[in-house]
A and B are shown apart, each in its own frame.
Chain A
Amino acid sequence: MRRFNRLEFADRQEPSQATLEQLSHERAAEHDEHYWIKAATDDRRNGYHESALRHYSRALEMDKSLVAGWVGQVQMLIALAEYPEAELWSRKALELFKNNADLLAVRGQALCRMGDLKNAQASCDAAINQQGSFSIPWIARGELMLARKENIDDYCFDKAVQLDPDWLVLLEIGTIYLHYDRATKALQRIRLAVEKTPDHAYCWYCQGVCELALGLTGPAEKSFNHCLQLMPKHSLALRSLNELKQNRRVLLNFFRRLFRFS
Chain B
Amino acid sequence: MQCTNCGFQNMPGSEVCGRCSTGLGLATAVVDVNPPRAGSLSKYFRRVLPVRMVYFRTRSALHAENVAARVRHATATLPPRPLILRLIVPGWSHFYIKQPFRGHLFLWGFVACLLPTFLYFGTTWGSIWLGMAFSVHSSAALDIVTQSLPGAGVRDRIVRSIIVSAILGLVLYLPAMWLIGGFAGPHTVQTDLVTFRTGDVLLVNRWEAPRRGEVVLYEFNYNTMLAPGYGERETVQYAGENIDRILAMPGDHVQCNSGRLLINGSPSLWQPLNPRPLPKEISLTVPDDHYLILPSGVPGLAGLQDANLWLSAGNISRADIVGRAYLQIHPLSQFHFIR
Contact = CB atoms under 8 A, between A and B. Distances in A.
A89 interface: yes
B76 interface: no
Nearest to B52: A114
Contact of B43 (A57, A69, A82): A82
B69 to A, nearest CB: 18
29 contacts: A57-B34, A63-B27, A64-B26, A64-B28, A65-B4, A65-B5, A65-B26, A69-B33, A82-B37, A82-B38, A84-B52, A85-B36, A85-B38, A96-B22, A96-B23, A96-B26, A96-B31, A97-B5, A97-B20, A97-B22, A98-B20, A98-B22, A100-B5, A100-B20, A115-B56, A115-B57, A117-B56, A118-B63, A131-B6
Nearest to A63: B27
Q: State the 8 A-B residue pairs at the shortest beta-carbon distance, nearest first.
A: A115-B56, A60-B33, A115-B53, A65-B4, A65-B27, A65-B26, A82-B38, A89-B35
A84 B38 CA distance: 9
Interface residues of B, number: 30
A89 B35 CA distance: 6
Contacts of A74: 35
A39 interface: no
Interface in A72-87: 73-74, 77, 81-82, 84-86
A178 B273 CA distance: 74
A81 B5 contact: no
Contacts of A73: 35
Contacts of B54: 115
Contacts of A131: 6
A113 B38 CA distance: 15
Contacts of B50: 115
A62 to B, nearest CB: 9
Contacts of B33: 57, 60-61, 64, 69
Interface string A86-123: 10110000001111100000000000001111100000
Given A64-B31, A65-B4, A81 B56 contact: no
A178 B56 CA distance: 21
| A contact face: mostly helix, strand, loop, or mixed | helix
A115 B53 CA distance: 5
B60 A117 contact: yes
B4 A88 contact: no
Contacts of B23: 96
Given A85-B37, A97-B20, A131-B6, 8 more contacts: A57-B33, A65-B5, A65-B26, A81-B43, A81-B46, A81-B47, A114-B53, A115-B55
A67 to B, nearest CB: 6
A131 B6 CA distance: 9
Given A60-B33, A61-B33, A89-B36, A67 B5 contact: yes
B49 interface: no
B4 A115 contact: no
B5 A85 contact: no
Interface string B1-35: 00011100000000000001111001111010111
B61 to A, nearest CB: 11
Contacts of B28: 64
B52 A99 contact: no
A64 B27 contact: yes
Contacts of B43: 81-82
Interface in A42-66: 53, 57, 60-61, 63-66
Given A53-B35, A65-B27, A88-B36, A116 B22 contact: no
Contacts of B37: 82, 85
Contacts of B47: 81
B96 to A, nearest CB: 47
A64 B29 contact: yes
